Amino acid sequence: MPMTRETYGMPHLAPGSGAVVTDVVSGSEADIAGVFVGDRVLAVDGAPVRDVLEWQWLTAESDFVLTLERAHARLQIEVEHTVGRPFGVSFADLLFDGVRECDNSCTFCFVAQLPRGLRASLYVRDDDFRLSFLSGTFVTLTNLTDDDIARIAEQRLSPLYVSLHAVDPAVRARLMCPTVEDRALERFDELLAENIRLHAQIVLVPGINDKEALDETIEWLAERPGVLSVGIVPLGHTGHQSRFTRSFEDPASARTVLKQVTERQEELTVRGRRAWLQAADEFYLNAGLDVPTADAYGDFPQYENGVGLVRTFLDDLVEETAGRQAARDVVAVTGTLFAPVLTRVLAGVGLAGAVDVLAVPNRLLGGGVSVTGLMGGAEIIDAIRSYDGEGPFLVPDVVVNSDGLLLDDTPAGSLPAMTGKDVRIVSTDAMGLVAVVCD
């Protein structure tokens, strides 16, 4: 029996729920229908709207009725809609009913390792399949309901990104400490049976899900054709917890992981799974090894997960600097993990004399955190102040959120005033660096 738009167990239309309209395009169908900025869209044809995905799904019809809340009063508007034409509204958020939070108490949860005093949003442990589809965030599947599976299948929310970590029940229990029944592996197979494609992530924790457990997890995933890629990333641990004192920072342990991964990659390539299994850049940097060539990453399916970023940067830097000369001297600000690589590659393209590399240790998080994207404003400011030179200092925009704030709420726009030097926020990619340095 075909599913209808009302079969997902939709909640009652509660006051304050729904989508807040932040913009109405002049002359659009929304404008003509009488939708105003500030209206709260509660339902379409009586079905509550919980997120932008549901909005798109419910408004795909040629005609529909909107239920709005305006000035604490409800009203209904009949809409004549041209299928395929943008309706003409924007909303304040992607999710209209709040973010679903995690039902697990993972031993390695990075959110639980944050220091006190950061902005509240950083402590939200989101585990929302909708954000997985919309933004590529990884979810555990432990909080999925039957209605969620039905909705994902009907609305074709594919691909999704799943944090699997391990398939052995005892290892999963030790890692994830679920507060509800752990049906994630069952849910994983249910989604695959509905032809939903999945990207998997394994956060590798020394002595728990590595070695034989890792082989078992890789093989379990390899047996499932609907799994598009598998990324292995190292445990991240801060100085604000006592469970972990190491990850794979030392060269020997990182090389051991890469040897195991390389062996599995070779086996999988023979089985038609080329570029399917990939290790995060951190393993290679910690091991002191060159990252693989671009063809090893396929179409870079786990780029946002820290897999292939370095290779992309290096190749782009070579391409962008070809035939160009340095026009000015700059200082590139980066984390301690990437600094040696950047220094080496700049020399390779003839920019060593023009670009100094300023490596900034991470005092905010401490522990084994050394990636560029997690640097705080205070340590960047101190490093620039202490540097003998006026810059310009190029700070990659990966450290800045959509509100223009660094991790410790330092406004990016205040860096020049707070350092007394020429500080510029530039694109994190190679083009951002070259655009300033070269003619």
**Residue 182: CATH number of its domain:** 3.80.30
pLDDT at 8 over 80: no
Of 116, 127, 374, 104, the residue nearest 241 (C-alpha):
116
What does the alpha-carbon distance between residue 136 and residue 199 come to, in Å, rounded to a whole number?
9
What does the alpha-carbon distance between residue 413 and residue 381 come to, in Å, rounded to a whole number?
12
DSSP string of 244-310? Answer: -S-SS-SHHHHHHHHHHHHHHHHHHHHTT-TT-EEE-HHHHHHHT-PPPPGGGGTT-TTGGGTSSHH
Q: What is the three-state SS of 93-145?
A: CCECCCCCECCECCCCCCHHHCCCCCCHHHHCCECCHHHHHHHCCCECCCCCC
C-alpha distances in Å from residue 242, one per residue of 112, 174, 203, 245: 11, 16, 18, 7
Identify whether residues 433 and 287 lie together within a single domain.
Answer: no
Identify whether residues 326 and 419 lie together within a single domain.
Answer: yes
Residue predicted with more confidence, 63 or 333: 333
pLDDT value of residue 389: 85
Identify whether residues 139 and 285 lie together within a single domain.
Answer: yes
Q: What is the mean pLDDT of residues 278-305?
A: 96
Do 387 and 352 contact (CB within 8 A), yes or no?
no
Percent of the chain residues past pLDDT 90, beyond the cut: 89
Identify whether residues 323 and 189 lie together within a single domain.
Answer: no
Sequence-ordered list of residues with C-beta below 8 angstroms from that of 219, at least 6 positions apart, any chain? none
Confidence of residue 222 (pLDDT cuts 50, 70, 90): very high
pLDDT value of residue 391: 83
pLDDT value of residue 7: 33
What does the alpha-carbon distance between residue 220 and residue 99 come to, in Å, rounded to a whole number?
30
Q: Which of 274, 307, 340 is the last residue of a domain?
A: 307
pLDDT at 321 over 60: yes
Q: What is the mean pLDDT of residues 234-259?
A: 96
pLDDT at 396 over 70: yes
Q: Which of 261, 278, 307 is the last residue of a domain?
A: 307
Q: What is the mean pLDDT of residues 390-418?
A: 95
> What's 67's domain CATH number?
2.30.42.10
Confidence of residue 390 (pLDDT cuts 50, 70, 90): confident
Confidence of residue 4 (pLDDT cuts 50, 70, 90): very low
What does the alpha-carbon distance between residue 439 and residue 436 come to, in Å, rounded to a whole number?
8
pLDDT at 78 over 60: yes
Identify whether residues 127 and 236 lie together within a single domain.
Answer: yes
- φ, ψ of residue 327 to 5 degrees: the values are -105, -20
pLDDT value of residue 95: 94
Tally of structural domains, the chain: 3
pLDDT at 362 over 50: yes
What does the alpha-carbon distance between residue 204 and residue 264 come to, in Å, rounded to a whole number?
15
Cross-strand bridge partners of residue 393: 331, 423
pLDDT value of residue 417: 97
The helix-helix angle for 184-193 and 146-154 (nearest 10°) equals 30
Identify whether residues 252 and 156 lie together within a single domain.
Answer: yes
Do 356 and 267 contact (CB within 8 A), yes or no?
no
Encoding tokens for residue 420?
Answer: 């007394």
pLDDT value of residue 60: 87
Confidence of residue 112 (pLDDT cuts 50, 70, 90): very high
Identify whether residues 68 and 150 lie together within a single domain.
Answer: no
Identify whether residues 148 and 287 lie together within a single domain.
Answer: yes
pLDDT at 309 over 90: yes
Q: What mean pLDDT, rounded, does the chain reach?
A: 93
pLDDT at 5 over 70: no
For residue 50, the Cα-to-chain-centroid distance in whole angstroms is 22
pLDDT value of residue 3: 31
Identify whether residues 279 and 154 lie together within a single domain.
Answer: yes
Percent of the chain residues past pLDDT 70, beyond the cut: 96
Confidence of residue 6 (pLDDT cuts 50, 70, 90): very low
pLDDT value of residue 403: 93
Confidence of residue 436 (pLDDT cuts 50, 70, 90): very high
Coil vs helix vs strand at 338: coil
Domain holding 59, by residue range, is 19-91
In this structure, which amino acid lies at residue 147? D
What does the alpha-carbon distance between residue 258 and residue 214 come to, in Å, rounded to a whole number?
12
Q: What is the mean pLDDT of residues 366-391?
A: 95
Identify whether residues 251 and 276 lie together within a single domain.
Answer: yes
Encoding tokens for residue 285?
Answer: 């940097």
Q: What is the pTM of this model?
A: 0.91
Residue predicted with more confidence, 267 or 60: 267
Q: What is the mean pLDDT of residues 196-219?
A: 98
Confidence of residue 83 (pLDDT cuts 50, 70, 90): confident
Identify whether residues 129 and 265 lie together within a single domain.
Answer: yes
Identify whether residues 26 and 53 lie together within a single domain.
Answer: yes
Edge-to-edge order in the sheet of strand 330-335: 355-360, 330-335, 393-396, 423-426
What does the alpha-carbon distance between residue 9 and residue 148 come to, in Å, rounded to a whole number?
9
Q: Which of 307, 341, 360 is the last residue of a domain?
A: 307
Stated length of the chain = 439
